[in-house]
Amino acid sequence: MNLLVSLGIIALLATVTIPYLRKYQPNLKLNGSARDMTSDLRLAQQLTVTEQVIHQVLFNVMNDSYQIIKVGSPDTIIKSVSLDGDVSIQQVIDLTDDTVVFNYYGSVSESGQVILININDNIATINIKPSGYVQLNQ
């Protein structure tokens, strides 16, 4: 009898919590994608400063992806990332050719923003300051 009561309570809790978790999961994916993108921008900045070779991050809004590229002859793709299906790049603002270019001092040629959105219409904004400071706002 105690076993049936315990199973009933577990089933009730699962019935209540599973829909909530499914609704919350896209938010977790958005937060994770935004943190990963912020880390990758900082990685490109760090590589530029330490190697004294220009690196850039190229955003592809149509494919919801981005690449870290080492600029040279020829250019070398360091890392390619495709965002999760629940997350997309909504907009890239004030960046020529949707590209962040870091110089040898770690600053950028242009400041701008990358806005990510998930299927619940929640937004995360990544700000790139002229000094090269990368800030995540969620």
pLDDT digits (tens, 9 = 90+) for 6-37: 887 887 777 777 776 667 788 889 999 999 99
Q: Is the pLDDT of residue 44 over 80?
A: yes
Q: Are 69 and 76 in contact (CB under 8 A)?
A: yes
- 90-132 pLDDT tens trace: 999 999 999 999 999 999 989 999 999 999 999 999 999 999 9
Query: Residue 25: its pLDDT value, please?
Result: 80
How much is the average pLDDT of 46-51?
Answer: 95
Query: Residue 67: its pLDDT value, please?
Result: 97
How much is the average pLDDT of 57-71?
Answer: 96
Tally of structural domains, the chain: 1
How much is the average pLDDT of 40-67?
Answer: 96
DSSP the chain: -HHHHHHHHHHHHHHHHHHHHHHHHHHHHHHHHHHHHHHHHHHHHHHHHHHTS-EEEEEETTTTEEEEEE-SSS-EEEEEEE--TTEEEEEEES-GGGEEEB-TTS-BSS-EEEEEEETT--EEEEEE-TTS-EEEE-
Angle at 10 between CA 8 and CA 15, to 5 degrees: 95
Phi, psi dihedrals of residue 90, rounded to the nearest 5°: -75, -40
Query: Residue 26: its pLDDT value, please?
Result: 85
Query: Residue 20: its pLDDT value, please?
Result: 67
d(CA 78, CA 49): 15
Residue 7 structural domain: 2-137
CATH of the domain at 71: 3.55.40.10
Banded model confidence at residue 45, pLDDT cuts 50, 70, 90 = very high
pTM: 0.84
